[in-house]
A and B are shown apart, each in its own frame.
Chain A
Amino acid sequence: MKPETGKLQQRLQALQHQYREELAGKISQLEKNWRQFIGQKDRQALDSLLHDAHNLTGSGALYGYHQISTIARELEQLLTDIQKSRKQPGSNKRQSIERCIRTLHLTAQNPVQPATPP
């Protein structure tokens, strides 16, 4: 039995709406892990942060929020470098990461709407 296209599109749109509603929370959680890592030198927080960035890269692209995905990918790369270096990040790297997080917040407040559901 072929799926009902209309019903499928409705469900996809509902997921997309839910994703948009949750996007700010995802970014806030990411920032929380960043503060934890920087403040407490908590390497577990770095692992969680990297995971958050990776997931945001993937889910942002999947749901059509390509700008979010691009920024998250940049963030993911910066964090991967820190993870590999096993050191606390220098000021340049911190500023780059802070900039990414700020941009994510701003973009999430007014994301470019995907043209069609995923």
Chain B
Amino acid sequence: MPQTARINHAQSSTSTTPTLQRLLYIEDEPSIQAIIKLTLEEIGQFTVHGCISGSEAIASGPDFMPDLILLDVMMPGMDGPTTLKALRQLPELASVPVIFMTAKTTSTEIAELKALGAIAVIAKPFDPMTLCDEIKNAWHLQFTK
């Protein structure tokens, strides 16, 4: 299936930005994952699929067909950057936008993560009440560049 066909092209009435609906999040810490899931589902009203590791994301991410991937940086085994590199090898996920989440937020560290292809970097700890706004803003920004 062509990559572009997976993007939900349902248009909002005021912009040409594709609708963001399906989010894959990859976070190894269960208590943080629980907050992310609750926030994305209840506040963002997104359809979400959570993975606790990069390898799980590689196994189940393609079938979920996300519009966007939220990816923790520090994880055991496959860290965020390594996971991103592996996801990009999968045809279904090769061009899905990625947002990193990390506690390492110096300007140099953020630049390094964006140089890997992320559309944004969200700092941890994040505010659960504004996380979805940050995600949506990053999503919209990539279509207005």
Q: Interface on A for B, CB 8 Å cutoff?
A: 1, 3, 7-8, 11-12, 15, 18-19, 22, 47-48, 51, 54-55, 57-59, 61-63, 69, 118
The 8 closest A-B pairs by CB, nearest first: A61-B125, A62-B125, A55-B29, A3-B42, A59-B31, A8-B42, A51-B76, A58-B124
Q: How far is the CA of A7 from the CA of B74 in the complex (A)?
A: 32
Task: Give me 18 other A-B pairs in contact (C-beta within 8 A), A11-B42, A22-B31, A48-B76 excluded.
Answer: A3-B43, A3-B45, A8-B38, A8-B42, A15-B38, A19-B31, A47-B76, A54-B74, A57-B103, A58-B32, A58-B103, A58-B124, A59-B29, A62-B31, A62-B124, A62-B125, A62-B126, A63-B35
Q: Which chain B residues lie closer than 8 Å to A18 at the CB level?
A: 31, 34
Q: Does B128 contact A (CB under 8 A)?
A: yes
Question: Could you say which residues of chain A place their CB within 8 Å of the CB of B32?
Answer: 55, 58-59, 62
**Contact call B125/A58, Cβ cutoff below 8 A:** yes
Offer 24 A-B interface pairs, CB within 8 angstroms, sorted by A: A7-B42, A8-B42, A8-B43, A11-B42, A12-B128, A15-B34, A15-B35, A18-B31, A48-B76, A51-B74, A54-B74, A55-B28, A58-B32, A58-B103, A59-B29, A59-B32, A62-B31, A62-B32, A62-B35, A62-B124, A62-B128, A63-B31, A63-B35, A118-B128
B38: which A residues are within 8 A, CB to CB?
8, 11-12, 15
Total number of A-B contacts with CB less than 8 angstroms?
Answer: 53
Kindly state the interface size class of chain B when it binds its partner. 10 to 19
CA distance A69 to B29 in the complex (A): 14
In chain B, positions 31-65 with a C-beta closer than 8 Å to chain A are 31-32, 34-35, 38, 42-43, 45
Say whether chain A's binding surface is mostly helix, strand, loop, or mixed. Answer: helix
A117 CA / B125 CA spacing, docked (Å): 14
B76 adjacent to A118 (CB under 8 Å): no
Chain B residues with Cβ below 8 Å from A48 are 76
